[in-house]
């Protein structure tokens, strides 16, 4: 990185809002990641650099409630924390007494540009802790933006599960306008604890979402995540998972459905730092129009991590000639007794299957929809919670119907 | 006059790596209402192509002739419109649909066809009742409905599944492409039972086969011999027996 580079309007606006400290210095020095960084090759942020981003205006509780009903109706019932325009809406928040709210203390990852940006202008966020052997059930974490033109939010959240604790986090991100959302989530899963993280990114089609998840999983702990990406014109979901104790498990599964000129990048770095751990990734891309999917998945296996079991699969269904997928699996293995496999497939709908359905009287659009759903099934089926599965299913259905209409 | 199925001078070609390859070369065929006809012919005579062209597969280009079904220009219709009108193609090798539940597939198909025919759609209970009656009739286990369409099915199970679809969709005209499966007696018997069970004044069928054996189980009203993209001879059931005894050469020589 050259410090001599002129500071972009975006960086200038971020610096004017940043706290003093290391993150601010790094942000000023490095700017937004450029294409010449290998990790950012497929996802250029050029356009983002061109204009400044202000802090969003606060909204009233009534506005926030209406927005919640419109953009995240699934969270109207049950426990939830709601953020609108980067601010927690206390009146809409209801937490179970099985969780404890603690002080935020988000580590800065100096080599991760999204952590640097998030850390430099970090506004608010929530830190939740679930005590040992407590099952806290499901909590919805809803992050919404309204009147969002040229504003940015940089929420930072933390989830800590003590030994044997359990939680399902339903993480819904959505909004209205041409905003930038740059959330971070720091996860700590202790021994035998289990976090299920279901993330639905359905941001405005003018918005940008640059999200970072940093998870550390201890012995016999599980971080089971599924991301459904439907929104944003440009998005990146970066997952860093560190398996630090024997028999730890991580799942980074996802489905990305992109149309128009949407671009979505799923980047993961899974570090096996202990023996007998298991990592699983099934990522499906459905790409219409000029939709562009990116998958970069790295599995790093430390010398100590014998008997590692790693699996990674990225599949793309191209529904148009202009659709595009970039897929880059990477294995870096220093242990000698491991089982790691990865694969990628790209294809169009099968003409014979389409004809078979149509020959049975099923109209063309409906036949296509059936085959697209079938393609997504092995990823969606990894969500075992019935209510969560139904939620994803409805969102996928609604998305598809809107695109086909 | 026959106003059920009337094919006149039908010509069709397929794109063979950039060169058009003519497969149907002026085929004439009529199947009246309530009759079952068979087409027999050597490999490469165009039998399967005829079935695909009639069902509406897109990779065949019709270059001449016509096919009218119930007074409509069949070739102008989309495959799903043909199905709604009552055309059913039983596939020689039924397609596997991983990730598509067999019962959901069948219900979607039945309701799509009912919608197009201006009939009320079946709700879940109504469908289940109807499909249970059929599976019982076909000695099929309900377990087959829970699996993905044709995935991991044996040859016989696939044929049974085709027959189940045929009975549920209530076609007026079924095309059964059995070109290469002539050696599997069980599969043949399943198909034959399916066709025979629908036999009646409002059901016609065209059975495309390579071997005479299928016709031991289904007695056709007429048998047509096809070669080089045309019907070269037509007659009663005795044609099939003559073919079995003497082969195709007698007919091929006659047109040569």
Give, rounded to a whole angstrom, the gap between the first and last alpha carbons of chain A: 46
3-state helix, strand, coil in chain A (%, to 5): 25, 40, 35
What's this model's pTM, rounded to 2 decimal places?
Answer: 0.91
Q: If you average pLDDT over each of A6-20, A268-282, B208-222, which comes out highest?
A: A268-282
Q: Which of B90, B97, B53 has the alpha carbon at shortest distance from A354? A: B97
In this structure, the answer to whether residues A295 and A363 fall within a common structural domain is no
ipTM: 0.96
CB contact under 8 A, A358 and B78: yes
Segment 316-355 of chain A within 8 Å of chain B by CB:
351-353, 355
Longest dimension (CA), chain B: 59
pLDDT reported for residue A2: 45
Instruction: Say which residues have a Cβ less than 8 Å from residue B149's Cβ, sequence separation at least 6.
Output: B95, B96, B97, B100, B101, B102, B105, B161
Please tell me whether residues A226 and A301 are part of one structural domain. Answer: yes
Percent of chain A surpassing pLDDT 90: 93
Closest chain A C-alpha to B35 CA, distance in angstroms: 22
Distance from C-alpha of A201 to C-alpha of A148, rounded to nearest angstrom: 16
Same domain, A357 and A234: no
Query: Which residues have a Cβ under 8 Å from the Cβ of B8 and sit 6 or more positions away?
Result: B28, B65, B66, B67
- Considering the domain architecture, whether residues A344 and A356 belong to the same structural domain is answered as no
Q: pLDDT tens for residues B26-66? A: 999 999 999 999 999 888 899 999 999 999 999 999 999 99
Angle between helices A364-380 and A386-404 in degrees, nearest 10: 150
Residues in chain A with CB shorter than 8 Å from the CB of B88 are 359
Instruction: Summarize the confidence of residues B124-130 as an average pLDDT.
Output: 95
How many structural domains compose chain A? Answer: 2
**Co-location of A197 and A343 in the same domain:** yes
Break chain B into its structural domains and give their ranges: 5-255
Based on the domain organization, do A404 and A365 belong to the same domain? yes
pLDDT band with cut points at 50, 70 and 90 for residue B247: confident
Q: pLDDT tens digits for A152-168?
A: 999 999 999 999 999 99
The Cα of B241 is separated from the nearest Cα of chain A by a number of Å equal to 33
Q: Choose the final residue of a domain: A299, A330, A348.
A: A348
Give pLDDT tens digits for A33-90.
Answer: 988 899 999 998 989 999 999 999 999 999 999 999 999 999 999 999 999 999 999 9
- Rounded mean pLDDT, B78-92: 96
pLDDT value for A5: 60
Distance of CA B185 to the CA centre of its chain: 18
Instruction: Assess whether A155 and A210 both reside in one domain.
Output: yes
How many Cα atoms are found within 13 Å in the side-chain-facing hemisphere of A92? 28
Domain ranges, residue A355: 349-405
Answer yes or no: do A325 and A358 share one domain.
no
Between positions 38 and 57 of B, the ones with CB within 8 A of A are: 55-57
Return the SS3 of B157: helix
Q: Provide the shortest C-alpha distance from residue B84 to chain A (in Å).
A: 6
- For the stretch B164-195, pLDDT in tens is 999 999 999 999 998 666 557 777 888 888 99
| Residue A116, in any domain of the structure | yes
**Are B220 and B226 contacting, i.e. CB atoms less than 8 angstroms apart?**
no
Of A352, A359, A367, nearest to B55 by CB-CB distance is: A359
Residue A361 C-alpha, separation from nearest chain B C-alpha, in angstroms: 4
> Which one of A348, A376, A395 terminates a domain?
A348
- A47: enclosing H helix or E strand: helix A46-49
* H helix runs in A50-172, sequence order: 61-71, 113-120
> Out of A145-149, B5-9, B188-192, which region has the weakest mean confidence (pLDDT)?
B188-192
Burial class of residue B114, CB neighbours in 10 A (0-12, 13-18, 19+)? middle
**C-beta atoms of A359 and B99 within 8 A:** no
pLDDT digits (tens, 9 = 90+) for A324-369: 999 999 999 999 999 999 999 999 999 999 999 999 999 999 999 9
Nearest CB neighbour to B116, from listed A352, A359, A361: A361
What pLDDT does A181 receive? Answer: 98
Residues A161 and A254 in one domain: yes
Is A13 a member of any domain?
A: no
Q: What are phi and psi of A127, to 5 degrees?
A: -115, 120
Query: Which of A359, A364, A365 to probe by mutation at the B interface, max B CB count within 10 Å?
Result: A359
Digit-coded pLDDT (tens) for A202-240: 999 999 999 999 999 999 999 999 999 999 999 999 999
Asked whether residue A227 falls in the same domain as residue A188, the answer is: yes
Residue A40 belongs to some domain of the structure: no
Query: Is residue A84 in a domain?
Result: yes
Which tokens is B134 given?
């059929």
Inter-helix orientation angle B102-116/B124-137, to 10°: 110
- Which of A299, A333, A348 finishes a domain? A348
Q: Cβ separation of B113 and A361 shorter than 8 Å?
A: yes
Looking at CATH, the fold of the domain delimited by B5-255 is given as Rossmann fold (3.40.50)
A60 in any annotated domain: yes
A131 and A175 in a single domain? The answer is yes
Contact A355 B84 (CB under 8 A): no
Indicate if A243 and A319 belong to the same structural domain.
Answer: yes
């Amino acid at each position: 990185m050259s410090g001599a580079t002129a500071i972009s309007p975006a960086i200038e606006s971020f610096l004017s809002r940043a706290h003093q400290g290391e993150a601010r210095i790094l942000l000023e020095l490095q700017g937004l990641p450029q294409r010449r960084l290998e990790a950012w090759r497929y996802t250029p942020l050029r356009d983002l650099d061109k204009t400044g981003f202000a802090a969003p205006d606060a909204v009233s509780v009534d506005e926030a409630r209406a927005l919640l009903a419109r953009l995240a109706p699934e969270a109207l019932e049950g426990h939830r924390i709601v953020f609108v325009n980067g601010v927690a809406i206390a009146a809409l928040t209801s937490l179970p007494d099985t969780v404890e709210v603690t002080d935020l203390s988000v580590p800065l990852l100096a080599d991760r540009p999204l952590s640097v940006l998030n850390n430099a202008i970090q506004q608010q966020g929530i830190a939740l802790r679930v005590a040992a052997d407590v099952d806290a059930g499901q909590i919805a974490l809803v992050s919404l933006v309204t009147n969002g033109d040229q504003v940015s939010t940089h929420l930072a959240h933390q989830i800590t599960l003590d030994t044997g604790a359990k939680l399902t986090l339903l993480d819904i991100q959505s909004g209205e306008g041409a905003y930038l959302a740059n959330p971070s989530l720091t996860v700590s899963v202790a021994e035998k604890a289990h976090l299920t993280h279901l993330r639905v990114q359905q941001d405005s089609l003018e918005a940008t979402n640059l999200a970072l998840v940093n998870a550390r999983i201890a012995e016999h702990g599980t971080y089971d995540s599924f991301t459904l990406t439907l929104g944003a014109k440009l998005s990146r979901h970066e997952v860093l998972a560190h398996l630090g104790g024997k028999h730890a498990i991580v799942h980074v599964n996802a489905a990305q459905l992109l149309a128009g000129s949407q671009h979505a990048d799923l980047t993961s770095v899974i570090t096996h730092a202990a023996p007998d751990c298991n990592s699983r990734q099934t990522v499906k891309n459905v790409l219409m129009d000029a939709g562009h999917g990116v998958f970069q998945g790295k599995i790093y296996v430390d010398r100590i991590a014998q008997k590692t079991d790693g699996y990674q699969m990225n599949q793309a269904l191209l529904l148009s000639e202009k659709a595009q997928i970039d897929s880059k699996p990477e294995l870096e293995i220093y242990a000698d007794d491991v089982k790691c496999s990865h694969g990628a497939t790209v294809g169009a709908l099968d003409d014979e299957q389409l004809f078979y359905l149509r020959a049975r009287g099923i109209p063309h659009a409906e036949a296509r929809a059936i085959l697209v759903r079938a393609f997504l099934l092995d990823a969606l089926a990894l969500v075992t919670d019935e209510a969560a599965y139904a939620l994803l299913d409805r969102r996928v259905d609604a998305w598809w119907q809107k695109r086909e209409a | 006059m026959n106003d059920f199925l009337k094919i006149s001078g039908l010509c069709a070609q397929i794109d063979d790596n950039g060169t058009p390859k003519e497969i149907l070369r002026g085929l004439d065929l009529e199947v009246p209402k309530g009759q079952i006809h068979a087409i027999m012919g050597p490999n490469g005579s165009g039998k399967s192509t005829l079935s695909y062209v009639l069902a509406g597969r897109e990779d065949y280009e019709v270059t001449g002739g016509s096919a009218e079904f119930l007074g409509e220009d069949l070739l102008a219709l989309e495959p799903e419109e043909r199905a709604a009108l009552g055309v059913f193609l039983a596939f020689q090798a039924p397609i596997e649909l991983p990730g598509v539940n067999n019962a959901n597939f069948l219900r979607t198909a039945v309701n799509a066809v009912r919608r197009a025919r201006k009939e009320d759609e079946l709700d879940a209970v109504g469908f289940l009742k109807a499909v249970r009656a059929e599976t019982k009739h076909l000695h099929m286990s309900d377990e087959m409905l829970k699996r993905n369409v044709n995935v991991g099915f044996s040859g016989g199970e696939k044929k049974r599944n085709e027959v189940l679809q045929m009975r549920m969709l209530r076609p007026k005209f079924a095309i059964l492409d059995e070109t290469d499966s002539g050696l599997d007696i069980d599969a043949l018997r399943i198909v034959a039972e399916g066709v025979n069970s629908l036999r009646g004044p409002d059901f016609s069928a065209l059975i495309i086969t390579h071997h005479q054996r299928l016709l031991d189980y289904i007695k056709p009203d007429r048998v047509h011999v096809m070669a080089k993209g045309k019907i070269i001879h037509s007659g009663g059931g005795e044609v099939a027996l003559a073919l079995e005894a003497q082969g195709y050469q007698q007919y091929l020589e006659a047109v040569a």
